[in-house]
Amino acid sequence: MSQAVLERSTSPQVRLTKLFINNEWVDSAQGQTFETYNPATGEVIAEVAEGTAADVDRAVKAARAALEKGTYAKMDAADRGQLLFNLADLVLKNKAELAALESLNCGKTITDSLGDMQGVANSLRYYGGWADKVEGRTPPVRGSFLTYTLRQPVGVVGQIIPWNFPLAMLAWKLGPAIACGNTVVMKPAEQTPLTALRIAELAIEAGFPPGVLNVINGFGETAGNALCVHTDVDKIAFTGHVDTAKIIQKATADTLKRTSYELGGKSPNVVFADANIDEAVDGSFHAIYFHGGQCCTAGSRLFVEEKIKDEFVAKLAAKAKARRVGDPLDPNTQQGPQVSQEQLDKILGYVDLGRKQGAKLVVGGERVGGKGYFVEPTIFDGVRDDMAIAKDEIFGPVVSVLPFKSQDEVFERANRTNYGLAAAIWTKDIDKAHLYAKHVKAGTVWVNCYHVVDATTPFGGFKQSGHGRENGEAALELYTETKTVTVKLG
Ligand code: ADP
């Protein structure tokens, strides 16, 4: 790290820093800005316009106008789909630039950012395809009536985005919203405000009429909250921390807005002795360390059958020691920095707590270098279910190894969490795999694989991991109201 990071990190140009309202770049109402950082160096890379309630109000008015009059309101569904196809093409055309900007601001490796951009395009295309296929029904009602249902947009949608997958999460929300004819006020995370602005610029090029997509950067407690309490916002779609979701649930109560939440997890990743051990080691490694553990589906509770546990942990530790942690813009890097000083401190705090509560630190546990927010891949062995590192979402490269003896025992322990986002199992026994898939309380279950997510498949949480499902046909439910029309015949 060092000089190479510094020189390269200033090179991608940050041109766009203003608010994006009604297809125009504007300063915030009171002219405030906030600093955004490069997590690889801790240095400021740009001053970004900071939106507050007055700006949110301007954006909501633009979104409402676009929804109710003008070209978008009258646009054929197929043409709305074309907007998403166009935007997907532009994302791929500008993939290298978008990925570099994402890595610069969020710290994810350039390899992962390039993967994300492909995912963004896939998602936008998938929902572009849905735009002219969102249909109502004709229920066979009693009596002499013709009844049909219409599926109409929910309206003006506030979308609140996290910092770990800034553009991927934007695409998961923007795609279905536009496919169903809604308009959007997007609030990116304050840690990663930059790439959403570039998407907004590409949206103009893709043909998005004014007001359809608006981007208001700013802080959660101000800009985010203003969206939640606004009387003319019909729905909030949120991805982020469970505690924030609880605040939003209360903030949206007075207006009874529709809400959908995609929250955190403490996902159980269960490895049986009959699994292909080397594949399970590689998969479990990816499960926790992908994007430095900053993944809501991270496989952070690693249950390993006792008779293979020592061999398994030794193999995992060897991989952890060999991991190349450093400059996210270097294609050889495997793990970049954590996103912020706050996250770095939180993760190191949990490492301390793990030690104090009696878990065995096998490898890692330290900050890497004195600049930027890098953390060593960390493994704790001998973790008990009641320890903080086994219960709380750490959102960093820290895995808790929990030994188990029997199938019944581990199936029961896997569900001992308030979360329910994802789960995985490694085994060659087909019965065990399907029993686990049926039993475990999680929105996504992986058998002999991990982090396989696709635009076509519903994604979301049981319990405190969320409400509703994004991706797949399921997301259309989040962005439509169903209207029943009954006509008397004869
Ligand atoms: P994290 O703790 O990982 O940063 P958050 O849940 O705080 O996750 O952030 C996710 C998104 O939620 C960000 O865009 C953030 O600005 C927004 N946010 C935070 N607090 C609020 C709030 N009170 N109301 C609305 N949005 C919020």
| Residue whose CB lies within 8 A of the most ligand 1 atoms, among 244, 248, 252, for a mutation test | 244
In this predicted structure, what is the pLDDT of residue 11?
A: 41
pLDDT exceeds cutoff 60 at 483:
yes
3-state secondary structure of 224: helix
In this predicted structure, what is the pLDDT of residue 490?
A: 87
How much is the CA Rg of the chain, to the nearest whole Å?
23
Query: How does pLDDT run across 122-157, given as a tens digit for each residue?
Result: 999 999 999 999 999 999 999 999 999 999 999 999
In this predicted structure, what is the pLDDT of residue 234?
A: 98
Query: How far from the centroid of its chain's Cα atoms is residue 354's Cα?
Result: 27
In this predicted structure, what is the pLDDT of residue 252?
A: 98
Query: How does pLDDT run across 183-216, given as a tens digit for each residue?
Result: 999 999 999 999 999 999 999 999 999 999 999 9
Indicate whether residue 396 lines ligand 1 (CB < 6 A).
Answer: no
pLDDT level of residue 2 (50, 70, 90 thresholds)? very low
Query: How does pLDDT run across 306-330, given as a tens digit for each residue?
Result: 999 999 999 999 999 999 999 999 9
In this predicted structure, what is the pLDDT of residue 351?
A: 98
The residue whose CA has the least distance to atom 14 of ligand 1 is 189
Please say if 262 is a catalytic residue.
yes
The residue whose CA has the least distance to atom 2 of ligand 1 is 241
Indicate whether residue 161 lines ligand 1 (CB < 6 A).
Answer: yes
3-state secondary structure of 42: coil
pLDDT exceeds cutoff 90 at 7:
no
Distance 240 CA to ligand 1 centre (A): 6
Q: Which of 50, 295, 296, 470 is catalytic?
A: 296
Indicate whether residue 478 lines ligand 1 (CB < 6 A).
Answer: no
**Percent of all residues in the chain with a pLDDT value above 90, rounded to a whole number:** 97
pLDDT level of residue 6 (50, 70, 90 thresholds)? very low
The CA–CA distances, whole Å, from 131 to 127, 281, 426, 447, 476 equal 6, 41, 38, 32, 10
- Nearest ligand 1 atom to alpha carbon 342: 4
Q: Which of 50, 102, 262, 393 is catalytic?
A: 262
String of b and e for 355-386 (b: at least 16 CB within 10 Å)? Answer: eeeebebbbbbebbeeebbbbbbbbbbbbeee
**Would you list the DSSP string of 372-439?**
S-EE--EEEES--TTSHHHHS---SSEEEEEEE--HHHHHHHHT-SS--SEEEEE-S-HHHHHHHHHH
**Would you list the DSSP string of 252-293?**
TTTTT-EEEEE-----EEEE-TTS-HHHHHHHHHHHHHGGGG
pLDDT exceeds cutoff 80 at 164:
yes
Tokens 């060999």 sit on residue: 322
In this predicted structure, what is the pLDDT of residue 308?
A: 98
pLDDT exceeds cutoff 70 at 4:
no
User: What average pLDDT does this structure show over 260-265?
Assistant: 97
Query: How does pLDDT run across 352-374, given as a tens digit for each residue?
Result: 999 999 999 999 999 999 999 99
Tokens 């469970």 sit on residue: 242
- Nearest ligand 1 atom to alpha carbon 162: 10
Q: Are strands 268-271 and 301-305 parallel, antiparallel or unpaired?
A: parallel
Distance 301 CA to ligand 1 centre (A): 25
Q: Are strands 258-262 and 235-239 parallel, antiparallel or unpaired?
A: parallel
pLDDT exceeds cutoff 70 at 454:
yes
- Nearest ligand 1 atom to alpha carbon 251: 24
- Nearest ligand 1 atom to alpha carbon 164: 3
pLDDT exceeds cutoff 60 at 64:
yes
- Nearest ligand 1 atom to alpha carbon 243: 6
Residues 6+ apart with CB under 8 A from 402: 301, 302, 303, 304, 383, 384, 385, 390, 413
Q: Are strands 145-153 and 213-215 parallel, antiparallel or unpaired?
A: unpaired
In this predicted structure, what is the pLDDT of residue 18?
A: 97
Distance 408 CA to ligand 1 centre (A): 38
CB 359 within 8 A of CB 383: yes
In this predicted structure, what is the pLDDT of residue 126?
A: 98
The per-residue pLDDT of the chain, averaged, comes to 96
Burial (0-12, 13-18, 19+ Cβ within 10 Å), 127: buried
Count of CB atoms within 10 A of residue 67's CB? 22
pLDDT exceeds cutoff 80 at 8:
no
CB 421 within 8 A of CB 444: yes
Residues 6+ apart with CB under 8 A from 424: 267, 268, 269, 270, 283, 287, 299, 445, 446, 447, 449, 450
Indicate whether residue 162 lines ligand 1 (CB < 6 A).
Answer: yes
Indicate whether residue 228 lines ligand 1 (CB < 6 A).
Answer: yes
Indicate whether residue 247 lines ligand 1 (CB < 6 A).
Answer: yes
pLDDT exceeds cutoff 70 at 262:
yes
Indicate whether residue 187 lines ligand 1 (CB < 6 A).
Answer: yes
In this predicted structure, what is the pLDDT of residue 41?
A: 97
C-alpha to C-alpha distance for 408 and 157, rounded to whole angstroms: 44
The residue whose CA has the least distance to atom 23 of ligand 1 is 221
User: What average pLDDT does this structure show over 433-443?
Assistant: 98
Burial (0-12, 13-18, 19+ Cβ within 10 Å), 197: buried
In this predicted structure, what is the pLDDT of residue 5?
A: 39
- Nearest ligand 1 atom to alpha carbon 244: 6
pLDDT level of residue 235 (50, 70, 90 thresholds)? very high
In this predicted structure, what is the pLDDT of residue 325?
A: 98
Please say if 449 is a catalytic residue.
no
The residue whose CA has the least distance to atom 11 of ligand 1 is 162
C-alpha to C-alpha distance for 290 and 288, rounded to whole angstroms: 6
Residues 6+ apart with CB under 8 A from 467: 259, 260, 261, 460, 461
Query: How does pLDDT run across 36-47, given as a tens digit for each residue?
Result: 999 999 999 999
Indicate whether residue 160 lines ligand 1 (CB < 6 A).
Answer: yes
Tokens 């395009």 sit on residue: 121
pLDDT level of residue 397 (50, 70, 90 thresholds)? very high
CB 218 within 8 A of CB 189: no
CB 27 within 8 A of CB 18: yes
Q: What are phi and psi of 215, to 5 degrees?
A: -125, 120
